[in-house]
């Protein structure tokens, strides 16, 4: 019976939307709340989206070995607390970690029963077009993102499953097939 799922995906791929839609339909799944040192965005709530920590607080947690995994991403620290994961799994919750691919592979090393799922864009060209379509970033920023996306796709070769996000509806269906079935299997 699988309870722990790790979902990763490149930025711009829409994994947040897919996970949100999945959770709406499956309230018996819980999304893990990570710790981060990045600033709070408008609308975010401490303890709901993230536990927002100062760099010193985050470093204290590293020192005390409180993280199952942690990583640096775009200049900020992100980490999953062991206590959070243990509490959920002990309660029998189905837990989803939404973390980067490096963190996902670290979790798999420590907890081989975790199922790793990568949400992929239909094609790199389409993702590039989507990023450019936002008109919010400089060419340099887009190139930086594309490089990190390629690295994430490389890491995803070690994942258990790849779900292509062609439409949100299809991607949610594919997640259901992978997650609901395996969480119920004996």
Binding mask 85-114 for ligand 5GP (x = CB under 6 A): -------------xxx--x-----------
Sheet containing strand 50-52, edge to edge, reads: 50-52, 34-36, 76-81, 67-73
Spatial contact of 7 and 97, defined as CB atoms under 8 Å apart: yes
Nearer to ligand 5GP, 1 or 31 (CB): 31
Number of residues that bind ligand 5GP (CB under 6 A): 12
Among 38, 130, 178, 180, binds ligand 5GP (CB under 6 A): 38
Which two tokens mark 149? 């996306």
Q: With the C-alpha atoms ordered 52, 45, 68, 174, is the resulting torsion angle positive or negative?
A: negative
CA diameter of the chain: 50
Among residues 142, 179, 175, which one has the least CA distance to residue 10? 142
Residue nearest to ligand 5GP (CB): 103
33 binds ligand 5GP (CB under 6 A): no
165 binds ligand 5GP (CB under 6 A): no
51 binds ligand 5GP (CB under 6 A): no
14 binds ligand 5GP (CB under 6 A): no
Among 73, 160, 166, 182, binds ligand 5GP (CB under 6 A): 73
Element (H, E) at 139: helix 139-155
Residue ranges binding ligand 5GP (CB under 6 A): 34, 38, 69, 71, 73, 78-80, 98-100, 103
């Amino acid at each position: 019976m699988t309870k722990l799922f790790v979902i990763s995906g490149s930025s711009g791929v829409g994994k947040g939307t897919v996970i949100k839609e999945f959770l709406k339909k499956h309230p018996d799944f819980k999304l893990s709340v990570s710790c981060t040192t990045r600033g709070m965005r408008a609308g975010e709530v401490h303890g709901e989206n993230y536990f927002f920590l100062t760099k010193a607080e985050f470093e204290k947690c590293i020192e005390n070995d409180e993280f199952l995994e942690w990583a640096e991403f775009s200049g900020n620290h992100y980490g999953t607390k062991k206590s959070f994961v243990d509490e959920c799994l002990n309660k029998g919750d189905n837990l989803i970690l939404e973390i980067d691919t490096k963190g996902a592979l670290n979790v798999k090393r420590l907890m081989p029963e975790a199922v790793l799922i990568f949400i992929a864009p239909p094609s790199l060209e389409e993702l590039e077009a989507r990023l450019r379509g936002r008109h919010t970033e400089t060419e340099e920023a887009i190139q930086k993102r594309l490089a990190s996306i390629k690295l994430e796709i490389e890491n995803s070769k070690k994942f258990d499953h790849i779900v292509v996000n062609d439409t949100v509806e299809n991607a949610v269906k594919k997640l259901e097939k992978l997650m609901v079935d395996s969480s119920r299997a004996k």
